[in-house]
Structures are given as structure tokens and as C-alpha cells.
Amino acid sequence: MLRLHNSLARREEDFAPADGHTVRLYTCGPTVYNVVTIGNLRFFLAADLLCRYLRYLGWEVHQVMNLTDVDDKTIAGCQSEGVPLSEFTGRYAELFFQDLCTLNIAPAWKYPRATEHIPQMLALIQTLLDKGHAYVRDGSVYFDISSFPQYGRLSGVRPEEAADVREFGRLQEDEYEREAVADFVLWKAAKPGEPTWDSPWGPGRPGWHIECSAMSMQYLGETMDLHAGAVDLLFPHHENEIAQSEAATGQPFSRFWTHVEFLIVDGHKMSKSLGNYYTLGDLLAKGHRPMAVRHQLMTAHYRKQLNFTLDGLQQSESALDRLTTYVSRLPRLPLPEGESAQVGEILTRAHAKFREALDDDLNVPGALGVVFEVLAETNPLIEGGQFHTGDRDRVLDFLRDTDQVLGLLTVTLAEVAAPQTSDDDKIDALVAARTAARAARDWAKADQIRDELTEQGIILEDTAGGTVWRRA
């Protein structure tokens, strides 16, 4: 049984979709005004691992991830460049999808854009006005938090205690501190030079929070199974999503809430102003492989801070090498026929531990550790000649199975599965020629063949059982 920490209940609870079949999941997506950082990507990867495991458990997943393509930041960005909002946000949306793809993050079910759901937002705001949860001031519409006594249930914010700092009574900004809790804006009256839409209250644009309520209910209904977000969105964004949605429908907005902790860099909170942040592109430019970055972003439990360092990333490079080398050489090992009971036991135990780790509030580092244990436990058997063709096949099945969740070996496993090509035969022949040259102590020839293979991107490894090769 999967247990997830539910931020709303402040404890771990058994999780299953309400209808027993499809998980309706909303994940707050990016504001498309810049290239996302690895801090942002940590959240999107955590959401990917969650979705992958939910699917692994046999459920369908309807994951909706919004793109915020109109808000204070996107408007400021397009204005400073002097380009239309859609051109500005379209560029960053494209780069965002590229990063997801590079990190092998599986696509969501839907990526609704805020600017394409203005009518749904207007309807939701109208409902809130009709039910007495909102009011109009100077062409803007605000949510009246005093009309919703449950306000603060998720974040623990208590508006009555913050009353002395509510000197403005209401807020135009989308983001603010919990000390500044006040009525928040649903619809912002037009300002000169800003993109606007018509509304019953005059021209303007939606507030940020209403976007998520309108788009989630559009695709997932009034009550979803699970809402995920980065921990910095818990207040005010998620608190306000709950208030708007539940005040409008009278139904619980989401059964579960999960929050992913921050990524910090070299022990410090990542901040653009301090310059201690990386984009995925920055790390690839340093020569790192995307799957090493993916691995590094998986090394801390999602509810713990992840301290990102370049040393840590280097360790991930080594870990990835161990993993891909192991997988790539498996099909090329000269192995005896049959299978051993010992490998069967290792895999049965590993499979149970893998499930156990992920069922325990999605302990991905634990699950990753199980895979590396299998490597550590089978390597001596391989070297000792106690590993058979059937063991190889079962280990590959285990890696294929677990990688549906981990997603580190998609390419490597596909290469292993590919049938032998004539290219492979040529390489086999060259490797055999090199082995013969070495046996004849013709080092010059052996080196020459190795160089030739290196040029073709082939890496050789001399083991006790003979030379094996793989593609770099």
C-alpha cells in the first residue's frame, strides 16, 4: 500500500485514487518568463517520479500541469523586451519542454495555458461574487478571506492573528509573506501597457492563484485526488487555491497535498540575486550528462532539502557509469547456460525492497540504493563464473522493471535490446583481432585496433572473462 505524506493532514496516509482506477493529479507548472533552474527541475522530476510510480502500481494518471503565461513576471519580461506576451512566453515554454525531455521526464496528460482559460476564470470569479466570497474594488475583484472560516487549514496561517499587519486590507500582488495575509486579488484591473481581457468588471487580467483553481477543475473536476507543488507555493498560492475552489463548489478541492522541498546550492538557498544557481544548460555545458543530473536530483527524499554541489554531480557521473557499464556489458559476457538460485534470491529480495521503499512516501533514494545493491551482489558472481544466461535475462528484466520508475536507463536498455547489427559483428571481429594481437604480444597492433574502435565511439573493457565492449 502506497503511503504519502499529506500536507493537509500533516501525516502519512494510505493513498489510492478515489475511483480506484485513475489518479487525478494537478501539479503547479512553471511561470514561463525565464529558463527554469535546477531548483525548479527538482520539483518537476519529483512529480515525474511520483507519476511513474503511480503508473507502476497499475493506475492511470491524469496529470495536469499548468503553464502560467500571464502574471506580473511574464508581463514585466515582455515589456522590457518590447515583444508580445505570447511570443515571450512561447519561447520559454519551448525551452521548458526541452529541459523536461532532456531529463527524461515523461509528459503530463495536459499542459493548459492560463491565457487559454480566461473564460473559465471569469466564470469562477463570478460564482465567488454570487456566493458572497468576493467583492469588487476599483475594477479589481478580491477574495474575502473572512468569508471562508477554513482559511489557513493547509498552511496554519491564522488571519485573525495577522489582523494588525493588515493595514491595506487587501493585496494586489500575487506573492506575499504569511505575515501579510489579507484579501487577495482574483482579477486585476487593467494597467497602462499591460495585456488585458474584457470582464464584467472592466478590462483586466486574472490573478495568479485563480488560474490553477480554474484549470484544475476544468480537467480534473471539483475534487482531485492529489495536488503537488514546490514547498514555497504552500502559502499563499495553495492556501488561496483551496479557498477559491472550496468556497465556489462547497466540495473538498484535493484529497491529498504533497510538497517538494527546496534544492539548495553549496549549502545556501539558491537565489538569482546571489548568482548561486544553475540551469540544466549550465551543467550540460560543463560536460555533464543529463542522466547524471537526473540521478543527482534523485539523491534526496522529496521532503528533504537537496544540497546540490558539483562534487555531488561528479559522484552521480560515477554512479551512472557503474550502472550503464554494468548494463552494456551484460549481453556481451561469455556466460554458461542456465540460472542460479542465488541470483533468483537476490532479485526477489531486491524487488520487494524496491516496492517497500517507494511505498514508504516515495523513498526514491532508497529504491535507487536497491538497484545498486543488485549490481554489488551480482558482480562477484559474474567475475566468479557463477552467473548464467538465465541470470542475465532476469537481471535485465529487473532493471527494465525498476527503470519504469527511475528512468535513468531508458536509452541504455534500448541499446541492449536492439538486435545485433552487422556493425556489431565488425566490432566483434576487431575485438577478437585485438585479443589475438595481445595474445601474440603485438602491443602496437593491439593499441592500433583500440584507437580505431575508440574513434568509432567504442569503449573496451578487459575483464577476467575476456574483453567486452560498449558504445560510449
Contacting positions for Zn ion (CB under 5 A): 28, 212
Specify the residue, 238 or 332, whose C-beta has the smaller distance to Zn ion: 238
CB of 377 to Zn ion, least distance (A): 43
Strands 183-189 and 140-143: antiparallel
Q: How many alpha carbons lie under 13 Å from residue 215 in its C-beta half-sphere?
A: 28
Residue 26 C-beta: closest distance to Zn ion, Å: 8
Query: Which residue, 212 or 446, is less far from Zn ion as judged by CB?
Result: 212
| Cα–Cα distance for residue pair 299/305, rounded to 1 Å | 10
Nearer to Zn ion, 53 or 208 (CB): 208
User: Kind of pairing, strands 204-206 and 224-230?
Assistant: unpaired
Closest distance between Zn ion and the C-beta of residue 155, in Å? 14
Closer residue to Zn ion in complex, CB, 28/350:
28
Is the CB of 134 or the CB of 234 nearer to Zn ion?
234
Q: 299, 363 in Cβ contact below 8 A?
A: no
Nearest-approach distance from CB 430 to Zn ion, in angstroms:
56
C-beta of 229: minimal distance to Zn ion in Å? Answer: 6
Q: Which residues 6+ apart lie within 8 Å of 457 measured at CB? A: 471, 472
CB of 100 to Zn ion, least distance (A): 17
- Identity of the residue, 174 or 261, whose beta carbon is nearer to Zn ion in the bound complex: 174
Tell me how far, at minimum, the Cβ of 45 lies from Zn ion, in Å: 18
Name the nearest CA neighbour of 152 among 184, 120, 187, 122.
Answer: 184
Q: State which residue, 205 or 470, has the beta carbon closest to Zn ion.
A: 205
Q: How far apart are CA 76 and CA 317, in angstroms?
A: 39
The residue (of 209 and 355) whose beta carbon lies closer to Zn ion is 209
Min dist CB 47 to Zn ion, Å, is 12
CB contact at 8 A, 327 and 393: no
Nearer to Zn ion, 43 or 148 (CB): 43
| Closest CB 213 distance from Zn ion, rounded Å | 8
Q: How far apart are CA 468 and CA 382, in angstroms?
A: 13
Q: Which lies closer to Zn ion via its Cβ, residue 121 or residue 357? A: 121
CB of 144 to Zn ion, least distance (A): 21
Q: What are the two backbone dihedrals, phi and then psi, of residue 100, each rounded to the nearest 5 degrees? A: -60, -45
